[in-house]
Amino acid sequence: MTGPSPEGILLVDKPAGVTSHDVVDTGRRVQGTRKVGHAGTLDPLATGLLLVGVGRATRLLRFLSELDKAYEGTARLGEETDTLDADGEVTRRAPIEGVTPARLEVAMRERMGDIMQAPPAFSAVKVGGRTLHRAARRGRHVQAPARPVRVDAFDLLGLQGGDFRFRVVCSSGTYVRVLVADVGCAVGSAAHLTHLRRTRIGPFQVDEARAPEDLGSPLPLEEAVRHLPALALSADEAVAASHGRPLGPAGIEGPYATFDPAGRLVAVYRDEHAKAVPVMVLAPQG
């Protein structure tokens, strides 16, 4: 007899040079299941934290993908590339004389808060059914509309020669390489990303992560909702929740995780006026 299918959350420290999909493929091979997905793509150049769901945890990934993220990186002044990072071809050169830490800090502060940002040409965003990076590789320029993002912190960590180091805390959907290119223009030069490491996603830290080839067993399913408010249910409420029935309102803002008396995750609910309704119900493990 075979045991239960693996499930839970994997915290992966993605190395440079591999795609997020490569990590998922490794997870499928190591975990012995096709039911593996990730929350929040990292470009091949980038390293750091990638959240991977296994089994029923793949249904929880949507509650992880919108979490804020923290990065540390390095950018090179004087050159802009078509991809806005070191993987691309140089499209513009500009002088770096006169670029000082003070000017960089001013440019960074100007990009904090709620801003509108257009996705770069080399990205997985689709416009009119066409993926931007595929169109760009065919020499077709497709402009994606700007969308709202939020930058909570954009700090200069150091400037040495033509390279500057920085830290960013931002909302999901923010392109750090666009921020870098905009800073280069703002200081009268150009810039592209040369190194980027994601250090945090919501409450999940890269220090908790493992290399893709050393994934081991997933963290418990309940870890995937550690960032959500938690509500303990009675036995009768847990049965009702497992069937997706409305419950009494909990008085909690936003989605919250509900647990049975044994501490097992049952469903994610949201209050709507005089009742609580399910956002996602976990089917029994097969």
- Measuring CA to CA, how many Å separate 259 from each of 53, 162, 222, 234? 19, 53, 9, 9
Nearest-10 Cα torsion for 205, 153, 173, 13: -20
Distance CA(226)–CA(201), nearest Å, equals 12
Give the contacts of 87 (CB within 8 A, at least 6 positions apart).
Answer: 43, 44, 45, 81
Beta bridge partners of 70: 169, 200
43 is catalytic: yes
Using an 8 Å Cβ cutoff, are 122 and 132 in contact? yes
The three-state secondary structure class of 170 is strand
Of 13, 43, 260, 271, the catalytic one is 43
The three-state secondary structure class of 232 is strand
Residue ranges with strand state E in the chain: 8-14, 36-39, 47-54, 69-77, 79-81, 90-93, 113-117, 126-127, 130-131, 147-160, 163-170, 191-201, 204-205, 230-232, 256-259, 265-272, 275-281
- Measuring CA to CA, how many Å separate 219 from each of 9, 54, 57, 213, 286? 5, 10, 10, 16, 18
Distance CA(169)–CA(72), nearest Å, equals 9
Catalytic residue IDs: 43
